[in-house]
Amino acid sequence: MVDLKKLKQEKLKQSLKKKLDSNVRVFVDENSPCLFRDVSKCIKCGRCKEACEMATGLAQHYDVNKPGKPDVCIGCGQCTLSCGVDSLREKSSYRQVLEELNNYDKVLVVSTAPAVRVALSEEFGFDFGKYDEGKMITALRMLGFDYVFDVTFGADLTVMEEANELVSRITKKAGKLPMFTSCCPSWVKFVEMFEPSIIPNLSTAKSPIAMQGSIIKTYFARQKKKKPEDIVHVVITPCTAKKYEITREELSVSDDFGYMPGVKDVDYVLTTRELAHLIRRQNIPYGNLYDGTFDELFPRGSGGGVIFGSSGGVMESALREAYYILTGNMPSENLLKLEKVRGLNGVKEDEINIGGAIVKVAVINGIKNAYDIIQKVKNNTCDYDFIEVMTCPGGCIGGGGQPKVKNVDDFIRKKRSDALYSKDESLNIRCAHNNPQIIKVYNDFLDGPLSETSKALLHTKYFDRSKEIKKL
Ligand code: SF4
């Protein structure tokens, strides 16, 4: 028999807890794939709530995240960086990954996002913003991965698809303008929940990790004569929201490109912090490791793929490519260093002359800074052609899964960002279309950007999720 008194008490307890959450701290759903709160450690300082609002501006602009209103989380994890008592952290997956690493029947593949390599070594006492992919690669091999790939390959694919999509929206009117980038899962979730009317403005190109996952579970699987389910693909990211992104069924298209229940294109996401934890846990002497190199097939991508980790980087890379598509020429030095879209300002803008046509662009650093532009898009008074939005301050280098050995501030963000731009400048290949592996995959398998195969594997769809807010 149902104990009504107990049920009532439980309801009251829940509603008091929610009230406390709304007033003092961010609410973390126990089913969140991204975040976890250890309530016993929380000192109710309220810093998480401030960090959430600083990044998203949700309570200021929408009727949520305040007393008596629904609590909404878009998974960016900025709250975890602000929590000084380790009460808030990512929903950890490292135990499952450790188990997989002992599964000798599977092919274990890991891919690492660009922002990870300029922050991981902070966990081991090195300077902020040290570009260090070599030790990271060796550590991943020592953990037991069979293949270590670079997400900058996936970033190059995203650029190829997104730039072609932009050009076709501009020249053939094949879609709405302005086109927004879509590689930040928190931004995508925000649009789906709060601003679904601008869904047609989102690029349909998948994020770099999602494209990388689809290629690994199809092209790579066929090369290795494996089925998608025989491969475990782990991605190391600076991002807690990617843990949510990989749960989106429409992003898993392996096995003859149709969704096959239970088989994901990316099986696990670990944050930079979780990787550091794993390295320590397995007693790997990070500081003394020799420099490893990525495995062939998907080694480091172009410089354009490397700068994806900084606010403005996605825009800059896509414009290099759009310039090449429209003029047939390599971008000039100016285009290879688009100063106006770099840096930590909330809104950055530029006008680019591409073969006589002026393309107006904006880069939004932090969703809270997107509000005014979104209103203009909805009123048809926005004259930008292309807009990048990233949720975290400074872009993914400031992601919610990055180390927090010291309070992460603009000094640290700039150091990490500068490291990515310096790497880009040092590389011979700066544009995705010059990357030999990209050329090979398009020739051997994909049949060119925006082909039928590319659309099936590398593009996605979005959904109006505004009703989910009312349900809360
Ligand atoms: Fe993740 Fe980067 Fe978006 Fe932050 S800005 S939520 S790290 S994708």
pLDDT tens by residue, 415-467:
999 999 999 999 999 999 999 999 999 999 999 999 999 999 999 999 999 99
Q: Which atom of ligand 1 is nearest to the CA of 77?
A: 6
Quote the ligand 1 centre to 398 CA distance (angstroms).
Answer: 8
- Residue 19: the pLDDT is 52
Smallest Cα–Cα separation from 49: which of 29, 75, 78?
78
Quote the ligand 1 centre to 77 CA distance (angstroms).
Answer: 9
DSSP summary character for residue 75: -
Beta-carbon count within 10 A of 2 CB: 6
Q: Which atom of ligand 1 is nearest to the CA of 402?
A: 7
311 vs 342: CA distance, rounded Å: 7
**What confidence tens digit (pLDDT) does each residue in 112-143 have?**
999 999 999 999 999 999 999 999 999 999 99
**What confidence tens digit (pLDDT) does each residue in 10-53 have?**
665 665 555 555 678 898 988 999 999 999 999 999 999 999 99
414 vs 188: CA distance, rounded Å: 25
- Residue 13: the pLDDT is 60
Quote the ligand 1 centre to 366 CA distance (angstroms).
Answer: 10
51 vs 372: CA distance, rounded Å: 20
What angle separates helix 151-171 from helix 313-327, to the nearest 10 degrees?
Answer: 60
- 396 annotated active-site: yes
Query: Are the C-beta atoms of residues 112 and 140 closer than 8 Å to each other?
Result: yes
- 382 annotated active-site: no
User: How do strand 35-37 and strand 88-90 relate by DSSP bridges?
Assistant: antiparallel
178 vs 203: CA distance, rounded Å: 10
Quote the ligand 1 centre to 401 CA distance (angstroms).
Answer: 9
Amino acid at 444: D
- 165 annotated active-site: yes
Query: Which residue has the CA at smallest separation from atom 2 of ligand 1?
Result: 396
Task: List per-block mean pLDDT (blocks of 10 residues) for the chain, which spans 472 residues.
Answer: 66 57 82 95 94 94 91 96 95 96 94 97 95 97 97 97 97 94 98 98 98 95 92 98 95 75 92 98 97 88 94 96 95 92 96 91 97 97 97 97 88 96 96 95 96 96 92 56
Which stretch of DSSP H or E encloses residue 347?
strand 347-354
Please provide residue 187's backbone torsions phi and psi, each rounded to the nearest 5 degrees.
-65, -45
Query: Which residue has the CA at smallest separation from atom 6 of ligand 1?
Result: 76
Ligand 1 pocket: which of 32, 52, 74, 76 to mutate (most atoms within 8 A of CB): 76
- 184 annotated active-site: no
- Residue 2: the pLDDT is 58
Kindly tell me the sign of the dihedral angle through the C-alpha atoms of 154, 160, 161, 163.
Answer: positive
Structure tokens at 150: 């670079």
3-state secondary structure of 451: coil
Domains of the chain: 173-205+302-407+415-435 (3.40.950.10)
- Residue 167: the pLDDT is 96
471 vs 71: CA distance, rounded Å: 11
DSSP summary character for residue 220: I
- Residue 68: the pLDDT is 85
Query: Are the C-beta atoms of residues 293 and 137 closer than 8 Å to each other?
Result: yes
- 162 annotated active-site: yes
Q: Which of 123, 133, 165, 316 is catalytic?
A: 165
Q: Which of 53, 123, 133, 162 is catalytic?
A: 162
Smallest Cα–Cα separation from 194: which of 79, 59, 77?
59
Quote the ligand 1 centre to 403 CA distance (angstroms).
Answer: 14
- Residue 55: the pLDDT is 93
The edge-to-edge listing of strands for the beta sheet with 268-271 is: 147-150, 107-112, 231-237, 268-271
Beta bridge partners of 37: 88
Query: Are the C-beta atoms of residues 419 and 394 closer than 8 Å to each other?
Result: no
Cis omega (within 30 of 0) on the bond before 178?
yes
- Please give the biggest Cα pair distance in the chain: 77
CA distances from 202 to 50, 54, 452 (A): 28, 23, 20
User: How do strand 147-150 and strand 107-112 relate by DSSP bridges?
Assistant: parallel
Q: Which of 90, 245, 274, 316 is catalytic?
A: 245
- Residue 80: the pLDDT is 96
- Residue 98: the pLDDT is 96
Kindly tell me the sign of the dihedral angle through the C-alpha atoms of 452, 457, 458, 462.
Answer: positive
Ligand 1 pocket: which of 58, 184, 243 to mutate (most atoms within 8 A of CB): 184
Structure tokens at 288: 């003394």
- 203 annotated active-site: yes
What's the Rg (C-alpha) of the chain?
22
42 vs 15: CA distance, rounded Å: 18
